[in-house]
Chain A
């Protein structure tokens, strides 16, 4: 038996023999209940389309203000980057760094890396240079990317300020909402599929 026929539960170490799944099925560990693997929800091509769309949304979400606020006739709008810069100038550097990493840098890197790897593998049918290192980077960044948390945070901020002044949601916030939805789909993507795609290519 070749070891690749096996799948090992990451949560309890039980060994199973891999079986083919049909769409929307998933295999769960009998002992601990964790999901072992699932049938791919979409083709790699669809995933690439989602990644490209999310890159556009990311640009919009960052270029346009998220929220604007009016007080005493002064209009004040704030973008995502503004909130990072303001945290930095407000003397809470660590908060600025955390926000910049979790909401800007990690999600952007994830989108760009996935786009690059998918394009190279399925459009150009080429083994992308640096594949192994980039895959490790993708896996390590995943838990630290927090766009969805930031979105809810923005909603909380809107409500908090609503009593104090007139607050308006701006285009960036809508883009951020759509981006959150796409990133949820992208983050559910099983990176092992990319390893498999590359194995098929190299053979």
Chain B
């Protein structure tokens, strides 16, 4: 089956309002007549921007996991806990279901996001034809799960306000939480910058129509 793409037909779909406009050769920077958003065939500088956000996220992922995200002070102990440490405590307390949720949201999702985006970016640059439908689905999953990694950051914010009993028990937030929040925001920006239409683009010479 032969698909007709908007680019081939000289159509410019507006990303903001969905209006489909016709391309006119003499306008250099076309704007949507309905919502005034700039129109372009592909997101601007998609691969480079996506790489930049992704690399920044991958770098920050290290302090996010090694620095403590939380410090629990009670009369008996003074404990700095990292993300993994928090999950282990949940697990040992017997709430394995929540431990699993936090594990998926704060360990699996960020790693999978970074790995998946890397695969998407490399294969899009090479205009690979490998598993295009699968990669398109991966990207949609990525967009959907993106914000869930914020879970641990919110837990810390709540515990800090809740556990405030002076010397008896106190919880403070650690620098790891900031790094982790930054990782989440950066991976979200990276996946937003990526243009999924690049998955389907061919090299011009391979496309004789």
Interface residues of A (CB under 8 A from B): 3-4, 6-8, 10-15, 30-34, 66-67, 69, 71-72, 74, 76, 78, 82-87, 90-92, 94-96, 98-99, 102-103, 132, 135-136, 139, 143-144, 146, 149-150, 152-157, 159-161, 163-165, 191-192, 195, 199
Contacts and interface: CB of A to CB of B under 8 A. Distances in A.
B185 A12 contact: no
Interface string B151-164: 11111111111111
Contact of B173 (A67, A91, A157, A199): A91
A136 B157 contact: no
A139 B177 contact: no
Contact of B90 (A143, A146, A160, A164): A160
A85 B157 CA distance: 9
Interface in B134-163: 136-137, 139-140, 143, 146-148, 150-163
User: Which residue, of A76, A143, A160, has the highest number of chain B Cβ atoms within 10 A?
Assistant: A160
Contacts of A98: 150, 153, 181, 185
B172 A90 contact: yes
Q: Across the A-B interface, give the 7 residue pairs with the lowest CB-CB distance, nearest first.
A: A86-B161, A153-B154, A8-B13, A32-B136, A92-B173, A13-B5, A87-B157
Given A84-B157, A103-B154, A150-B154, A3 B35 contact: no
Contacts of A139: 16
Contacts of A161: 159, 162-163
B35 A195 contact: yes
A146 B136 contact: no
B203 to A, nearest CB: 16
A149 B151 contact: yes
Interface of B: 1, 3-7, 9, 11, 13, 15-22, 34-37, 41, 74, 86, 89-90, 93, 95, 98, 101-102, 105, 132-133, 136-137, 139-140, 143, 146-148, 150-165, 168-169, 172-175, 177-178, 181-182, 185, 188, 192, 196-197, 199-200
30 contacts: A3-B11, A8-B6, A10-B13, A10-B197, A11-B139, A13-B13, A14-B4, A15-B9, A15-B11, A31-B200, A32-B200, A69-B162, A78-B161, A83-B158, A85-B161, A94-B181, A95-B153, A95-B177, A98-B153, A136-B35, A144-B147, A144-B188, A156-B101, A156-B155, A157-B162, A159-B98, A160-B155, A160-B159, A164-B169, A199-B34
Looking at chain B's contact residues, the main secondary structure is helix
Nearest to A85: B161
Contacts of B9: 15
Contacts of A146: 147, 150, 154
A14 B2 CA distance: 10
B177 A76 contact: no
User: Which residue, of B93, B143, B154, has the highest number of chain A Cβ atoms within 10 A?
Assistant: B154
B90 A159 contact: yes
A67 B98 contact: no
Given A86-B161, A143-B146, 19 more contacts: A12-B197, A13-B5, A13-B200, A15-B4, A31-B3, A32-B133, A69-B162, A95-B177, A98-B150, A98-B181, A143-B143, A144-B147, A146-B154, A150-B154, A152-B101, A156-B90, A156-B155, A160-B86, A195-B17
Contacts of A85: 161
Given A86-B164, A132-B35, A71 B150 contact: no
B157 A14 contact: no
Contacts of A159: 90, 93, 95, 98
Contacts of B101: 152, 156
Contacts of B37: 136
A157 B133 contact: no
A149 B98 contact: no
